């Protein structure tokens, strides 16, 4: 039976706003009402971040209802106050507040993480969102830019930036703290949502913030600290901040992660989770959802009654989307909500097999050291962490530091395996990677969550440039395995055989289908393997997502009498030309499908190799890639939008065969 | 008349080391002797960084002569102490100390910034150099890695990392400060060479470090502060540090930039320079060199005499290299040493014309805001800074912060022009650039010092990946002008016409030759222009350096009866296919020369366009690019090493024409 999801309609918010109530009590009520709706939206979307949406909610509500002029001047006024959250993943809370003010339609609000709806991380395409975020640590800098521009343009309005506490591990924050003081950016206020839990662990256990108040004061900021759930205390701080015009101001708001739902609140939730916080990301299962929603609604109604007001009404929202046909497993990366892993370590789950393979490697080589930047669960290195704590290095959310540290480890002869999401590792620590590579040591970079899918979190997380970001390094091999079996081979190769740096590219979700390699298949440098055969054209592909679509295209074309060979090509920048020529020999048409942008990916590499080997004489070549910014939505929505789903690929291949000019 | 350069031979160091002298007095002497030799090596090389080599010298000498076990156990012992400088550019000082200990040969020492000699920034290829550096802010992280590995491997030896003070503006330092404490890296000692001047300005005027001691203490480090030129004070601090085993230690060493040469010492030097410090980088002119060297030598001899020791001997070193035939102007970027700009704003000096063009733009558009990360002189935006201080934003050495701030400015409708060296901007702030671009605002990124030349500073500064790092952004146009005239057009286009982000790629030195554009030439999107014609093949090129080599190749081939058309192609990722097809129509052989790595540059883009337009039917295509890591040396040495000098290009074209298979 499907759980019924209900939300509090706009009319109830309008009623509470107009009711005769003491301001702070009204804000308490509104915050809980916004919590209920954020919970409903996340449940309906099937994923999203509740823990920090809830910890920040009282502050966001205070800002929008009392501090900021946005409700009166509107979202487009040049003198408007500006608020955005640097941590970004707490955007369900912001959406909920915008909805409560009539600034976001109900239809949009309940299209969270769907194509044409709301991105899983903030994007300015949504009116009311002032900055794109999702990748951490950029907010104070960007807020400083907005504030500087307001001053230069003689515009009114103040700038408020919310940050997480774990987020403060990113060094960019400290750059911004310095420059904001130097430039006297007095119209900038930062609020640290200090809920003490980052992702699924305590901040103090990951990388402590130490004496945060002293630290911030030493940077020259005006610092205040108060209970971030106490509206009276918040009012006092903001009143005081309003008087200080020449110095940037920062509030350390002591908050509780998961605030408002008893079993989601830290520290209880952390204790019940055996030291791991379950409610950072992901939609709660049905039972927990009902319990949480019920608890919030009951509290709201109790308070309404105490103030002599009517209960809220609850309106049913459309049921959550069903899993899509070829994504029978949920492909979302943020799976910390389940006590038990949602997916077993099967051959279809490359990320989990990667984690297992590292364990095997660790058993035989004690020079292998694993580095993490606060994504141990998602990167599947938690088992390693718990089993080999003496050679698991947690660096916090600080990719640059992690990568340069790996460089130092390698200089002493260790073999570091560096883990993070591809977007953050390839891009943020790019120069550090180059610096290490220049030392001719060997480091393995595991780039998780590579590619278009899952597409719910939005463009800050979808990594479609990582091949290009590693590609121009002279001494780095890039490999992407297509299934668990190949993942094992890739890890073993990287650890035991490779002489250069290796970038391992991994999708984070389970595969859309079981991809079987031929019996006896072995990983050979620069070679791949035929997974489906056909007589009319060849399509090179890599990684579980695109190989699935390629196979689907081949199956669809076979029904129409067109034969499409699908070749799995795990080596993204090394090629055995003899093997390549064998693969293309029977064909006039060569295609490649990229789980990457069209520039700087495997397709460009293959094209160079084909040209170098004379392989394009009287053959056509076409590349299907993720053009433009990646779409946010379900896997099917995103693939279809980019014409990379099996059916679209089949059409594109057919049209290429018909019209494709030979090169 | 050529200035005679002399150096102090190893025997004198051995004599002073063995002489009966009080330790601290001996170190004072040795430090000055190392200063004299560093000065000689930089003068002989024609460039290098003296100011901070001198400020750090007393500390480096103390470390190698008293604190570290390297002189006794050697450079390869696993238990050796490790020292390296995170700021890197002070490496002439380190080379000088290594030479003084007999750990670096005289021959190598006096091949500074030459091919087969010593890199302008540290590279582990030189024995005794423990880490590559040159790009700032990575050292504490890397030192932490080395120290962690020593602990894990139960190796002896401590790790000492030197940082600059301006360098502390890089956020990565603060990431490392946090994690080192969390991990209890007690065998790590950091020394801040706090000379108060970064590049050519006071740190406090760029971005103040504020209360540095309080700041570092708030991160949980054990902090000490002392005079970095007082050997007794240094001894006390290091004695104390040796007792603290569980906490990382940091010394704020108050030093004087240019220490040891009266007119190079801050604050006198800054006053005499009208607020700008002249001796950060570059070799002093003959007169100043003689004066500086004489002053140091006289002091050494006075002290030797006072101790009853013989004067030092002085040995002549080979004279400085002559300017190379087609680089009649010195192509080094670090030109702060001249009071007057070394180069006039001529058509051959694209970087200077860029600065002028910005001034013109500023006159007509007050929405144009210029951002800098402590490279105002080198990026030629100092005139803008002094003329329009209200819209010049100095961010210090903090590229991430600068770029995200630009994002905020753009969100308020301003047009930010972001400046840094290509290596640092494209790589270090890559994710911030992506984040901004996703907001669909328009920002201009000026990537200075792009390409292989000048090759003296080494691979940390030679930017050969920047096109690939910007290339996969869906909405960023990349242009590189070939001369001053085109630079103006590019700046005007970027500011007034472009609707997307624009990356402007600029070489930093003057052009090797005057490149003339045809009369009436206008910049048209996706189009370039023929600069030399010929009947046998076409060579696409961009930027002054490679166009010069391409023209040279064409001239050399013409003598041999082979006609090579040279096409200037300033658009590196936008193409007018009609124009392209016109350019290639008469030819069977298409070549492209890259001032970039072979992957992800203009060549790959052109190849895609050719394939897309059917342009490679029965035509050959070959790409000449900078393969592997860029060579360090003079322009001619580096170009020759990579077979990208005119003569090599001519040979490669000829061999391509003869054997090149059609695609």
Cβ separation of A411 and B142 shorter than 8 Å?
yes
Domain ranges of chain B: 6-315, 350-505, 530-659
Average pLDDT over every residue of B368-390: 97
Token couple for B6: 């002399």
Q: Are residues A34 and A69 in contact, defined by beta-carbon separation less than 8 angstroms?
A: no
Residue in A with minimal Cα distance to B161: A408
Look at residue B448 and tell me whether its pLDDT is greater than 80: yes
CA distance B535 to B657: 12
Q: What are phi and psi of A644, to 5 degrees?
A: -115, 5
Q: Which pLDDT belongs to residue A556?
A: 96
Average pLDDT over every residue of B500-526: 94
Angstrom CA distances, A371 to A509, B146, B321, B326, B340, stand at: 21, 14, 46, 48, 50
Give, to the nearest 10 degrees, the angle between helix A91-100 and helix A51-62: 40
Cβ separation of A404 and B142 shorter than 8 Å?
yes
Average pLDDT over every residue of B138-160: 98
Which pLDDT band, with edges at 50, 70 and 90, does A511 fall under? Answer: confident
State chain A's mean pLDDT as an integer: 94
pLDDT digits (tens, 9 = 90+) for B576-625: 999 999 999 999 999 999 999 999 999 999 999 999 999 998 899 999 99
% pLDDT > 70, chain B? 95
Look at residue A607 and tell me whether its pLDDT is greater than 70: yes
- Residue where the block lists tokens 């597409």: A455
Nearest by CB to A408, from B135, B144, B438: name it: B144
Give the distance from residue B279's alpha carbon to the nearest chain A alpha carbon, in angstroms.
25
CA distance A241 to A233: 12
Give the distance from residue B170's alpha carbon to the nearest chain A alpha carbon, in angstroms.
6
Which pLDDT band, with edges at 50, 70 and 90, does A659 fall under? Answer: confident
SS3 string, A256-312, reads CCCCCCHHHCCCHHHHHCCCCCCCCCCCCCHHHHHHHHHHHHHHHHHHHHHCCCCCC
Q: Which residues of A touch B198 (CB under 8 A)?
A: none
Q: Which residues of A touch B601 (CB under 8 A)?
A: 472
Q: Are residues B41 and B96 in contact, defined by beta-carbon separation less than 8 angstroms?
A: yes
Q: Which pLDDT belongs to residue A425?
A: 98
Cβ separation of B390 and A152 shorter than 8 Å?
yes
Which pLDDT band, with edges at 50, 70 and 90, does A341 fall under? Answer: very low
Give the distance from residue A162's alpha carbon to the nearest chain B alpha carbon, in angstroms.
15
Nearest by CB to B430, from A401, A469, A617: name it: A469
Q: Which pLDDT belongs to residue B328?
A: 34
Cβ separation of A145 and B398 shorter than 8 Å?
no
Look at residue A606 and tell me whether its pLDDT is greater than 90: yes
Look at residue A324 and tell me whether its pLDDT is greater than 80: no
Residue in B with minimal Cα distance to A661: B614
Q: Which pLDDT belongs to residue A660?
A: 61
CA distance B259 to B35: 9
Look at residue B338 and tell me whether its pLDDT is greater than 80: no
Residue in B with minimal Cα distance to A171: B171
Q: Which residues of A touch B660 (CB under 8 A)?
A: none
Give the distance from residue B158's alpha carbon to the nearest chain A alpha carbon, in angstroms.
13
Look at residue A337 and tell me whether its pLDDT is greater than 60: no
- Thinking of the domain B530-659, which architecture would CATH place it in? 3-Layer(aba) Sandwich (3.40)
Cβ separation of B599 and A597 shorter than 8 Å?
no
Nearest by CB to A439, from B132, B430, B439: name it: B132
pLDDT digits (tens, 9 = 90+) for B89-143: 999 999 999 999 999 999 999 999 999 999 999 999 999 999 999 999 999 999 9
Look at residue B324 and tell me whether its pLDDT is greater than 60: no
Tally of residues, chain A: 663
% pLDDT > 90, chain B? 93
Give the distance from residue B9's alpha carbon to the nearest chain A alpha carbon, in angstroms.
31
Give the distance from residue B340's alpha carbon to the nearest chain A alpha carbon, in angstroms.
29
Look at residue A189 and tell me whether its pLDDT is greater than 90: yes
Average pLDDT over every residue of B358-367: 97
Q: Which pLDDT belongs to residue B288?
A: 96
Cβ separation of A396 and B182 shorter than 8 Å?
yes
Which pLDDT band, with edges at 50, 70 and 90, does B5 fall under? Answer: very high
Cβ separation of B460 and A438 shorter than 8 Å?
yes
Topology of the domain comprising B350-505: Rossmann fold (3.40.50)
Look at residue A345 and tell me whether its pLDDT is greater than 90: no
Average pLDDT over every residue of A142-168: 98
Q: Which pLDDT belongs to residue B330?
A: 37
pLDDT digits (tens, 9 = 90+) for B218-258: 999 999 999 999 999 999 999 999 999 999 999 999 999 99
Give the distance from residue B57's alpha carbon to the nearest chain A alpha carbon, in angstroms.
24
Identify the burial level of B436 via C-beta atoms within 10 angstroms of its C-beta, where 0-12 means exposed, 13-18 middle and 19 or more buried.
buried
Look at residue B284 and tell me whether its pLDDT is greater than 90: yes
Cβ separation of B599 and A472 shorter than 8 Å?
yes
Cβ separation of B438 and A411 shorter than 8 Å?
no
Cβ separation of B468 and A155 shorter than 8 Å?
no
Nearest by CB to A174, from B171, B432, B573: name it: B171
Which of B147, B157, B171 should we substitute to test contact with A (largest number of A Cβ atoms within 10 Å)?
B171
Which pLDDT band, with edges at 50, 70 and 90, does A329 fall under? Answer: very low
DSSP string, A562-624: --EEEEE--BSS---HHHHHHHHTT-SEEEEE-SS-SSSSHHHHHHHHHHHTTTTTT-EEEEE
Q: Which residues of A touch B396 (CB under 8 A)?
A: 175, 178-179, 182
Token couple for B155: 């190796």
Which pLDDT band, with edges at 50, 70 and 90, does A346 fall under? Answer: low
Token couple for B116: 């087969």
Give the distance from residue B460's alpha carbon to the nearest chain A alpha carbon, in angstroms.
7
Three-state secondary-structure class, residue B361: helix
Nearest by CB to A172, from B178, B394, B401: name it: B401
pLDDT digits (tens, 9 = 90+) for B590-603: 999 999 999 999 99
Nearest by CB to A663, from B403, B605, B611: name it: B611
Cβ separation of B178 and A208 shorter than 8 Å?
yes
Q: Which pLDDT belongs to residue B51?
A: 97
Q: Which pLDDT belongs to residue A297?
A: 98
Q: Are strands B315-316 and B6-7 parallel, antiparallel or unpaired?
A: antiparallel
Q: Which pLDDT belongs to residue B337?
A: 40
Cβ separation of A145 and B178 shorter than 8 Å?
no
Q: Which pLDDT belongs to residue B334?
A: 39
Q: Which residues of A touch B175 (CB under 8 A)?
A: 169-171, 395-396, 398, 400-401
Q: Which pLDDT belongs to residue B572?
A: 98
Residue in B with minimal Cα distance to A614: B663
Look at residue B344 and tell me whether its pLDDT is greater than 90: no
State chain B's mean pLDDT as an integer: 94
Average pLDDT over every residue of B457-461: 95
Q: How many CB pairs under 8 A join A and B?
A: 376
Cβ separation of A431 and B427 shorter than 8 Å?
yes
* Torsion, CA A480, CA A482, CA A488, CA A489, rounded to 10: -70
CATH superfamily of A6-315: Thiamin diphosphate (ThDP)-binding fold, Pyr/PP domains (3.40.50.970)
Which pLDDT band, with edges at 50, 70 and 90, does B574 fall under? Answer: very high
pLDDT digits (tens, 9 = 90+) for B31-72: 999 999 999 999 999 999 999 999 999 999 999 999 999 999
% pLDDT > 70, chain A? 95
Q: Which pLDDT belongs to residue B318?
A: 83
Average pLDDT over every residue of A157-161: 98
pLDDT digits (tens, 9 = 90+) for A538-571: 999 999 999 999 999 999 999 999 999 999 999 9
DSSP string, A640-660: HHTT-SHHHHHHHHHHHHHHP
What ipTM was reported for this prediction? 0.96
Is the pTM of the predicted complex or chain greater than 0.80? yes
Cβ separation of B427 and A405 shorter than 8 Å?
no
Cβ separation of A401 and B179 shorter than 8 Å?
yes
Q: Which residues of B touch A463 (CB under 8 A)?
A: none
Q: Are residues A410 and A439 in contact, defined by beta-carbon separation less than 8 angstroms?
A: yes
Q: Which pLDDT belongs to residue A338?
A: 40
């Amino acid at each position: 039976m499907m759980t019924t999801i209900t939300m509090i309609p706009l009319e109830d918010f309008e009623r509470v706003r107009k009711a005769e109530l003491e301001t702070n009590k009204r804000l308490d009520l509104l915050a809980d009402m916004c919590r209920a709706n954020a919970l409903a939206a996340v449940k309906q979307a099937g994923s999203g971040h509740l823990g920090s949406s809830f910890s920040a909610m009282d502050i966001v509500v205070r800002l929008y209802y009392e501090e900021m002029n946005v409700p009166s001047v509107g979202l487009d006024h040049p003198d408007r106050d500006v608020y955005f959250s640097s941590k970004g993943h707490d955007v369900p809370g912001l959406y909920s507040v915008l909805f409560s003010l009539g600034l976001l339609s109900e239809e949009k609000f309940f299209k969270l993480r769907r194509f044409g709806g709301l991105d899983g991380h903030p994007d300015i395409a949504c009116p009311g969102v002032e900055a794109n975020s999702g990748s951490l640590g950029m907010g104070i800098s960007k807020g400083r830019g907005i504030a500087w521009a307001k001053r230069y343009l003689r515009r009114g309005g103040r700038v408020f930036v919310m940050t997480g506490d774990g987020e403060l591990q990113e060094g960019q924050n400290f750059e911004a703290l310095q420059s904001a003081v130097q430039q006297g950016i007095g119209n900038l206020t930062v609020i640290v949502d200090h809920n003490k839990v980052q992702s699924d662990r305590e901040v103090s256990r990951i990388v402590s913030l130490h004496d945060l108040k002293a630290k911030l004061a030493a940077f020259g900021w005006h610092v205040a600290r108060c209970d971030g759930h106490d509206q009276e205390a918040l009012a006092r701080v903001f009143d005081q901040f309003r008087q200080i015009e020449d110095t940037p101001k920062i509030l350390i708001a002591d908050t509780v992660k998961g605030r408002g739902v008893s079993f989601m609140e830290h520290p209880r939730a952390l204790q019940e989770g055996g030291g791991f916080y379950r409610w950072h990301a992901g939609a709660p299962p049905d039972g927990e959802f009902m319990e949480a929603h019920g608890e919030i609604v009951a509290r709201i109604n109790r308070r309404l009654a105490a103030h002599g007001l009517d209960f809220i009404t609850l309106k049913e929202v459309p049921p959550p989307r069903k899993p899509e046909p070829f994504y029978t497993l949920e492909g979302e990366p943020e799976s910390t909500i389940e006590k038990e892993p949602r997916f077993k370590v099967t051959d279809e789950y490359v990320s989990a097999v990667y984690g297992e393979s590292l364990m095997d490697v660790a058993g035989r080589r004690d020079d292998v050291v694993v580095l993490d930047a606060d994504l141990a669960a998602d990167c599947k290195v938690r088992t390693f962490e718990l089993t080999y704590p003496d050679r698991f290095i947690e660096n916090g959310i600080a990719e640059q530091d992690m990568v340069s540290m790996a460089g130092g480890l390698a200089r002493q002869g260790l073999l570091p395996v560096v883990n993070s999401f591809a977007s953050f590792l390839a891009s943020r620590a790019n120069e550090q990677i180059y610096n290490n590579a220049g030392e001719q040591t060997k480091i393995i970079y595991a780039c998780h969550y590579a590619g278009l899918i899952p597409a719910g979190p939005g463009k800050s997380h979808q990594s479609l440039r990582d091949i290009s970001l590693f590609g121009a390094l002279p001494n780095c091999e890039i490999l992407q395995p297509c299934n668990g079996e190949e993942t094992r081979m890739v890890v073993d190769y990287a650890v035991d055989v490779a002489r250069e740096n290796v970038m391992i590219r991994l999708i984070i979700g389970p595969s859309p289908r079981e991809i079987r390699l031929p019996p006896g298949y072995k990983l050979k440098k620069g070679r791949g393997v035929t997974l489906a055969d056909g007589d009319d054209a060849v399509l090179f592909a890599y990684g579980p997502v695109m190989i699935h679509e390629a196979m689907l295209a081949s199956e669809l074309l076979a029904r129409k009498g067109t034969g499409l060979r699908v070749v799995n090509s795990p080596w993204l920048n090394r090629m055995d030309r003899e093997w390549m020529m064998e693969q293309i020999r029977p064909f006039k048409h060569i295609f490649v499908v990229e789980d990457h942008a069209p520039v700087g990916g495997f397709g460009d590499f293959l094209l160079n190799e084909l040209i170098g080997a004379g392989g394009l004489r009287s053959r056509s070549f076409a590349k299907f890639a993720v053009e433009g910014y990646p779409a946010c939505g379900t896997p099917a929505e995103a693939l279809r939008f980019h014409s990379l789903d099996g059916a679209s690929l089949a059409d594109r291949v057919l049209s290429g065969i018909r019209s494709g000019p030979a090169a």
